[in-house]
Each structure stands twice: as structure tokens, then as C-alpha cells.
Amino acid sequence: MWASQACGTPRAGPSPRSPGHWCPGQHGKGFATEGARRALRAAYEDFGWTTAVSVVSVNNPASQAVALRMGATLEREITYRHGAAHVYRHVGLAALATG
């Protein structure tokens, strides 16, 4: 079971993005990184995606670290939902494997 299924469904965004809603008390255990890696791998291998984005609040260093661990690069800062957010670009399986 995905952590997002156990704790509530994440809201849909304007473009494909990695999971970002996790259970309280489970931070720092690698679940977000593992889930995001598996989701991206499925997107690339099963659905033919060549890129994806993670939209992360500027006030969320843990999720910023997850995006970077997965090989994403910071693309830009935007205003999103409730304030400033960073857009991290994920580009294919090669970047995912090295993260």
C-alpha cells in the first residue's frame, strides 16, 4: 500500500509529479524516496514518459532533498497553491538510477 493511500489521497496538480503526501511520523525513513523512485520508474518504463516534475514548497527541505536524491535538478521557482515552490525536473531513467 502506498503511504498516500494510507494517509489520504494527494491533490492533483497541473502536470505529472511525484508523490508528496506522507504519513506523520514516517519522515526520514526513506519511504518518500522509494515511493517516488518507483512511481517515476513506472512512468518512464510503463507509460513512456521522458520527463516529470516535482513541485515542492520552498519551506520543505525534506522533499527538496528527495527530489535531489532522485537526480532531479532545480528548474525554477513558481507561485503554487499556498506560496512559493521549487520545480524540480526529472529526466529519464538514467538520472533516476544515479540519484
- 53-93 pLDDT tens trace: 999 999 999 899 999 988 899 999 999 988 999 999 998 87
pTM above 0.85, yes or no: no
Predicted local confidence at residue 74, as pLDDT: 96
35-45 b/e (C-beta count within 10 Å ≥ 16 → b): bbbebbeebbe
- 21-62 pLDDT tens trace: 556 666 677 888 888 889 999 999 999 999 999 999 999 998
